[in-house]
Amino acid sequence: GDSVTQMEGPVTLSEEAFLTINCTYTATGYPSLFWYVQYPGEGLQLLLKATKADDKGSNKGFEATYRKETTSFHLEKGSVQVSDSAVYFCARGEGSYIPTFGRGTSLIVHP
Amino acid sequence: ETGVTQTPRHLVMGMTNKKSLKCEQHLGHNAMYWYKQSAKKPLELMFVYNFKEQTENNSVPSRFSPECPNSSHLFLHLHTLQPEDSALYLCASSPRTGGELDTEAFFGQGTRLTVV
């Protein structure tokens, strides 16, 4: 099975709504965890990361906390904007230099 | 700007053509990757090069041929492609310093390939 599992999209929200995109992972050790964002017509860009349990990654109003007990790294933002419309990928790296990506979750924000 | 540059950004080719995609990074990274991104499918890892040596080939058809002449450049040579090969092809690089737990990847903007 997948080693990184994301909620299926698309997620459709109105501007200023609260966002949560769920991500869980499987691991035998202690991976680093990442969220990447892909805007239309672009490649993936790193949004935030966390390298150990209980770390919180944050950037551009987005946050995610590394939860070892629930093997989760959910992405949250308190108030989304139209410009946040993009595809969001959860990823992990562990014991290998090759990161593993989830399937991606499309976010659509309406004015 | 991530420091990884891909050319061309868009490519239309016939099934009998031969073309090449180029990726370049000057970030000092030692690992480089080719990914395929198709509509409604997960990101597919195609090839991995580490210190110019190919370390992964995920059952990619031989009509895709990678080349890594040095740690800064990666090519994907294409020949006799099929319409289902139309996709966004992404190049990425990452450091390979020995501390592999922090494997952040830097992506190029991709080449949008259409096979007609």
Q: pLDDT per residue over A37-88, tens digit each?
A: 999 888 999 999 998 899 999 999 999 999 999 999 999 999 999 999 999 9
* Residue numbers in A near B90 (CB within 8 A): 43-44
Q: Which of A43, A93, A97 sits opposite B110 (nearest CB)?
A: A43
Tokens 């830097």 sit on residue: B106
Look at residue B52 and give its three-state secondary structure: coil
Look at residue A107 and give its three-state secondary structure: strand
Instruction: Report whether B48 contacts B54 (CB < 8 A).
Output: yes
d(CA A76, CA A62): 6
User: Chain B residue closest to A30 (CA)?
Assistant: B101
Answer yes or no: do B43 and A101 touch at CB < 8 A: yes
Q: Which residue has the higher pLDDT, B36 or B104?
A: B36
**Closest Cα of chain A to B82: distance in Å?**
22
Q: Which of B2, B102, B110 sits opposite A93 (nearest CB)?
A: B102
Instruction: Report whether B13 contacts B80 (CB < 8 A).
Output: no
The two three-digit tokens of residue A19, written as one number: 């966002």
Average pLDDT over chain B, rounded to an integer: 89
Answer yes or no: do B110 and A42 touch at CB < 8 A: yes
d(CA B100, CA B114): 35
* Residue numbers in A near B95 (CB within 8 A): 97
d(CA B67, CA A59): 36
pLDDT in tens, B55-66: 877 789 999 999
**Burial class of A22 by CB neighbour count within 10 A (0 to 12, 13 to 18, 19+):** middle
Q: Would the pLDDT of B100 be above 80?
A: no
Q: Which of B4, B100, B106 sits opposite A96 (nearest CB)?
A: B100
Q: What residues contact residue B43 under an 8 Å CB cut-off, 6+ apart?
A: A89, A101, A103, A104, B35, B36, B37, B90
Q: Which of B45, B90, B103 sits opposite A93 (nearest CB)?
A: B103
d(CA B46, CA B90): 10
CA angle A6, A11, A17 (to 5 degrees): 120
Answer yes or no: do A44 and B105 touch at CB < 8 A: yes
How sure is the predictor about B104, in pLDDT bands with cuts at 50, 70 and 90?
confident
Identify the pLDDT of residue B102.
Answer: 59
Q: Would the pLDDT of B2 be above 80?
A: no
**Burial class of A70 by CB neighbour count within 10 A (0 to 12, 13 to 18, 19+):** exposed
User: Chain A residue closest to B10 (CA)?
Assistant: A41
Is any Cβ of chain A less than 8 angstroms from the Cβ of B38?
A: no
Instruction: Report whether B89 contacts B23 (CB < 8 A).
Output: no
DSSP for residue B9: S
